[in-house]
Amino acid sequence: MTATLTMEIQLVMLPVADVDRAKAFYTGIGFHADHDASPFPDMRYVQLTPPGSACSIAIGKNITTAVPGSVEGMLVVVQDAEAAREMLLAAGVEATPVKDEGWGLFTYFADPDGNRWSVQQLPVG
């Protein structure tokens, strides 16, 4: 009998131009700063986790070759999309009006570098 291989996505790299600005942005919208270290000269690694999530993001200096702001399609699921939008607006983040897209309620925002996020409230039932 073959064992089932379990895989978990636990970390996603987000390319940013200014690590301090990005860290302030993400902690300002409720992400927890788990790590902030420079394990090698000319490298900085910052790991941030959204509240309640098992998956984190990593930002930093010399941790990815991706272009800052090039990530699209990051998605977080919330219980209340309107409350999430209000929290983003209160933090000074531009967020689209909540829209019902048939498979849930959505609002969208971008970080200071332009990495784009979706916030989804799952449909009931």
Q: How far apart are CA 117 and CA 94, in angstroms?
A: 11
pTM value is 0.93
CATH superfamily entry for domain 11-121: 2,3-Dihydroxybiphenyl 1,2-Dioxygenase, domain 1 (3.10.180.10)
Q: Which two tokens stand for residue 28?
A: 């300002």
pLDDT, tens only, 45-55: 999 999 999 99
Q: Distance between alpha carbon 9 and the CA centroid of its chain, in Å?
A: 13
What counts of helices (H) and strands (E) characterise the chain? 2, 8
Name the residue ranges covered by the structural domains of the chain.
11-121
pLDDT, tens only, 70-79: 999 999 999 9
Q: How far apart are CA 15 and CA 29, in angstroms?
A: 18
